[in-house]
Amino acid sequence: MKKTPVILLIGTVDTKGDEIGYMRSCIERSGGRVVVMDVGVLGPGTVVPDIPNTEVAAAAGVTLADITNSGDENTAMTSMAKGASALAARLHADGAIDGMLALGGSMGTDLALDVANALPLGVPKVLLSTIAHSHLLPPERIPPDLIMRLWAGGLYGLNRLCRTALAQSAGAVVGACTAQEEPASKRPVVGMTSLGSSVLTYMKALKGPLEARGYELAVFHATGMGGRAFEDLASRGYFAAVMDFSLQELVNHMNDSCVNSGPDRLRGAGLAGTPQIVAPGATDMVDYPTWGKPPAALQGATAAHAHNRLIASMCVTVPMRRAIAQEIGRRLGEARGPTALLVPKHGVEGWDREGGPLHDPQGLAALVDELQAASPPATRLVVLDAHINDNAFAQAALDVFDDWVGKGLVPPGIQELT
């Protein structure tokens, strides 16, 4: 990281000029440099931006006059979001910025989410918003590495409350940039999805063997935002291979649960051509907030388990198990790289064993049957006489992985001196 981080500061200069000016001084006082991007459309403000709104509009393929003459604020901000996202991505690719800080109300937040998603995972992103952590923000639009702060008392003008929020946000983005370290390891990364070890345990059996082979393992907690991060990195070709063994977020999305990763779960690695080994881990249940109501389609079901005061799970029906298997097959059929599907016949998560709260032999049999029927011709199908948490499952995953390494489909591991 450079000694002096460069922060892209995004806001509407026409309405938030005083706040942007104050935040710029806070960043500079914290040791950073600032590039101000104006995304306002109403006119000049008290701050002269480094990137004027005319340039933002041009990056969206329109003129500022086109935007202001549209007469619709939603259309105007959507166009400015498109331009701002394109410019931010270009600036980062050129090495001109190290992090992003945006501020705004609902309009500015809407725009900032697009810009933050245009930057790679790991680039520091801070959003100071009057609607931070609100139910207005759909999970699929929140970047998984976003630092978000409530802009309390900041809707109009400077005051002691809002100055505190502005200063802390400035310090957060500068600190995030200066705290970054270049990765010491050059080992290829294997991406894996899982849940807590009370449900899925294969990562414990696989971490050591993968590291011994010269790989680094990154395990993502598949409870919505974890899957978003996994898919983001997979779609960018970050992983040498993936072991996508927990697909509950896909099931949640199909059942309108808020605990989801958006519509593109189980697509990132496949469309990027990354070798993927897939299993139907935790596809027998839907997660929902313990403090709320289960999705409408599942209300009245009896097989349920409260994991803690935040998240609970409910068993899905036999028809839904078949629908899930069919959707898995469809998404695997889109893959452009080597794909394997491991189907454990004796269970897909820790609570579905005999005596467990989600034990459902009929549903499991339907899932196993439908997965075999839905598996695409190009997918390597491995049906296992085992539970997903058994050592036999982990060994089967390693067998496929080793075979692909031997054939040159997965890059070889790197042994490093310690």
pLDDT at residue 300 in the model:
63
pLDDT at residue 1 in the model:
47
Q: pLDDT: is 417 or 267 the higher one?
A: 267
pLDDT band of 205, cuts 50, 70, 90: very high
Domain that holds residue 344: 189-406
Q: Using the 3D structure, point to which of 145, 179, 213 is the last residue of a domain.
A: 179
Global pTM exceeds 0.85: no
Q: What is the pLDDT of residues 73-89, one digit of tens each?
A: 888 899 999 999 999 99
pLDDT above 60 (res 2): no
Residue 57 forms part of a structural domain: yes
pLDDT above 90 (res 361): yes
Same domain, 253 and 284: yes
Q: Please classify residue 328 by burial: count the beta carbons closer than 10 Å to its beta carbon, then call 0-12 exposed, 13-18 middle and 19+ buried.
A: buried
Same domain, 128 and 206: no
Q: How many independent structural domains does the chain possess?
A: 2
Same domain, 144 and 259: no
Same domain, 164 and 193: no
Same domain, 134 and 257: no
pLDDT at residue 239 in the model:
97
pLDDT at residue 42 in the model:
85
Q: Using the 3D structure, point to which of 154, 179, 204 is the last residue of a domain.
A: 179
pLDDT band of 296, cuts 50, 70, 90: confident
Q: pLDDT: is 139 or 317 the higher one?
A: 317
Q: Using the 3D structure, point to which of 142, 157, 179 is the last residue of a domain.
A: 179
Same domain, 223 and 344: yes
Q: What is the CATH number of the domain that holds 212?
A: 3.40.50.12030
Same domain, 208 and 325: yes
- Find the mean pLDDT for residues 125-132: 95
